[in-house]
Amino acid sequence: MATPNAEFLAKMEDVLGVYEKPYDPKRPVICIDERPCFLIGDQVAPLPMSLNNPIYKEHYAYQKHGSCTLFIAVEPLSGKRLGRIYKRRCMKDYADFMNRLHEQYPAAERLIVVQDNLNTHKAGSFYQSFEAEKARILTERFEFHFTPVKASWLNMAELELSAISRQALHWRIPSQPQLEHWVEAVIKERNEQEIKINWQFTSADARQKLNRHYANVLPENLKYK
């Protein structure tokens, strides 16, 4: 974690304040993140599992088949999630994913989005991907909140990506269609189970645990009042 300065503390408290709001289906809180996925195949066919050999054994040699990016959006309080895999991670891909998220919530008045500070995570991506009228609709639909730099642990979407990785990305997958198959299956199952995220770290916890950092950013004439 980066050494907290005043900007860090302000953004952290902003995100924690969003997490502390009660559930509102008209203004759902949605966390968004993405991770690279490397497409890797086998040079030697692995040994399949059997009654006498219950472990799937891979040969050390492998082939690289490029990479792609998994985008994930999770609504922690309802257990809803949306995922999609793109060949790259550019403004057009981000804009397309956000448009799909927009379409996923037709009854919501506004979508409260928590995300990190990637250079694609901005309204300008909409204007580089859609006509101005559509871009403006998307800009007004989202309310953005950004985690501090080097504090992606504050983004609950990281927990969702970790869960998906453990279930679908822990073996070699050589192609994007195969990767999409496994990821979609895991997301479908998690949506059906309505798996929620119970966030425990609050603003009060932050002020207690990071008390010295709050004190450090104060001017000297306020530190002992």
Q: How far apart are the first and last CA of the chain?
A: 29
Q: How far apart are CA 42 and CA 173, in angstroms?
A: 9
Give residue 157's identity as a one-letter amino acid code.
A
Q: What is the pLDDT of residues 131-154, one digit of tens each?
A: 999 999 999 999 999 999 989 899
Q: How far apart are CA 171 and CA 158, in angstroms?
A: 20
Q: What is the CATH number of the domain that holds 40?
A: 3.30.420.10
Least confident stretch, 50-64, 72-86, 162-176: 50-64
Inform me whether the pLDDT recorded for 125 exceeds 80.
Answer: yes
Q: What is the pLDDT of residues 5-36, one digit of tens each?
A: 999 999 999 999 999 999 999 999 999 999 98
pTM: 0.85
**Are the C-beta atoms of 73 and 115 separated by less than 8 Å?**
no
Q: How far apart are CA 39 and CA 57, in angstroms?
A: 18
Tell me whether residue 17 is in a domain.
Answer: no
Tell me whether residue 84 is in a domain.
Answer: yes
Tell me whether residue 116 is in a domain.
Answer: yes
Q: How far apart are CA 112 and CA 135, in angstroms?
A: 17
- Name the residue with tokens 């998220």: 101
Tell me whether residue 216 is in a domain.
Answer: no
Tell me whether residue 221 is in a domain.
Answer: no
Please give the backbone phi and psi of residue 66, each rounded to the nearest 5 degrees, phi first: 95, -160
Inform me whether the pLDDT recorded for 59 exceeds 50.
Answer: no
What value does the mean pLDDT of the chain take? Answer: 87
Q: How far apart are CA 64 and CA 47, in angstroms?
A: 20
Q: Which domain holds residue 127?
A: 23-44+60-138+155-198
**Are the C-beta atoms of 30 and 114 separated by less than 8 Å?**
yes
**Are the C-beta atoms of 144 and 29 separated by less than 8 Å?**
no
Tell me whether residue 7 is in a domain.
Answer: no
Going from the C-alpha of 57 to that of each of 44, 49, 147, 156, the distances in angstroms are 11, 8, 40, 33
**Are the C-beta atoms of 71 and 83 separated by less than 8 Å?**
yes
Tell me whether residue 164 is in a domain.
Answer: yes
How many independent structural domains does the chain possess?
1
Inform me whether the pLDDT recorded for 221 exceeds 60.
Answer: no
Tell me whether residue 147 is in a domain.
Answer: no
Contacts of 128 (CB under 8 A, 6+ apart): 91, 92, 95
